Amino acid sequence: MSHLQLDYIALEALDQWVQALESKETQRQVLGMTVFGAPEVLNVALPVGLDARAWPRVALPVLGHDTAAWVEVWSVPAGAAAVEHGEVAGVAYVRFAELVFAWLATPLLSLDQGLEQATQQTYDALFNALDQLGCPHPLRCWNYLPDILGAQQGEERYRIFNVGRHTSFLSHAAMIERHPPAACALGHPEGLGGPLTVYALASAKPAQPIENPRQMSAYRYPPRYGSRSPTFSRAAVAPIGDEEIAFISGTASIVGHETQHLNDVRAQTHETLNNIESLMERFRVERPAHDWQAADLQLKVYVRDAADLPLVRQVIEQRLGTAVPCFYLQAVVCRPDLLVEIEATTARSQ
């Protein structure tokens, strides 16, 4: 039985899925979940017992699937112990053994008044909560920022966000070059707002960061990308239970530190998959006990322009086959010249 399992469930099927999850045959329980969809579906009630936890909800429209919303669910075995849920200084959490799923949302008003400070305070609160919960090592962080490429006081909002995040990392035990988590940062499509939503999986034990030889480490980017570089690793491998979980950060058509294939979504998708294949090769080198293959991944794919979905999907299916689970969302990638971004997860028994 997988210790930490990721599933994407259509909102309409969630109630039935949760009932099956808790059955004697399955014996699993929810560690964390996030709802993705258009704003009008984000306020719908979740199954009894789940709704009370006010899980994170992100206004990113679903693409290419017959559902109004996807629910990203992380589950753990039910036999060993029950999950514990609560709140620490505004950070909601669910804890199971040496794992924590934690999240918080910072309102637009706070972001508009000072995005850098709001981001730093958001991450300070997250890190302080993880410390108190005994799981101080973030393995994977997700960031969803409204108007990510917009300007605020003459500076791009994503760059301001990076300054606040960087400052918080420097102030806490999650040192930038020792154990930076895998991560992504996406924006809402034009006209769709929301809070700064940050959620994370964390552990009592650090993950091993994995960098891509085809790309410069993001935290070493030159100043042309902002006064503070993005703070994340290209991927990370974490021992969880009797498995190793690989988290691949949001990955795009970047070689070195420069965007490739301007205005060509097909070529950008190929280049993105080249980077993911390169990371899988690094997994095979760093963790040679396992045969890490891209065909074993689960993909979450962010597409800037919904009209590009058929081309993106075609390339992914050509490269990885049709059996690889892919979940498509419309989102703004963190550079104006990037058209697609892909994140991925897979597990291997130790």
Taking alpha carbons only, the member of 65, 64, 84, 71 closest to residue 11 is 71
Token pair for 231: 């703070």
- The alpha helices in 185-299, defined as continuous H runs, are 265-286
Angle, nearest 10°, between helix axes 157-170 and 115-132? 40
CA distance 305 to 265: 10
Residues classed as catalytic: 341
Q: 250 and 185 in contact (C-beta within 8 Å)?
A: yes
CA distance 232 to 181: 5
CA distance 70 to 6: 13
28-37/57-58 β-pairing: parallel
Backbone angles phi, psi at 145, to 5 degrees: -115, 125
Token pair for 102: 């934690």
Q: 349 and 274 in contact (C-beta within 8 Å)?
A: no
Taking alpha carbons only, the member of 121, 212, 104, 112 closest to residue 153 is 112
* Tokens 């799981």 found at: 135
Taking alpha carbons only, the member of 208, 198, 185, 215 closest to residue 276 is 215
SS3 track for 94-112: EEECCEEEEEEEECHHHHH
Taking alpha carbons only, the member of 48, 4, 16, 14 closest to residue 34 is 14
Q: 90 and 31 in contact (C-beta within 8 Å)?
A: no
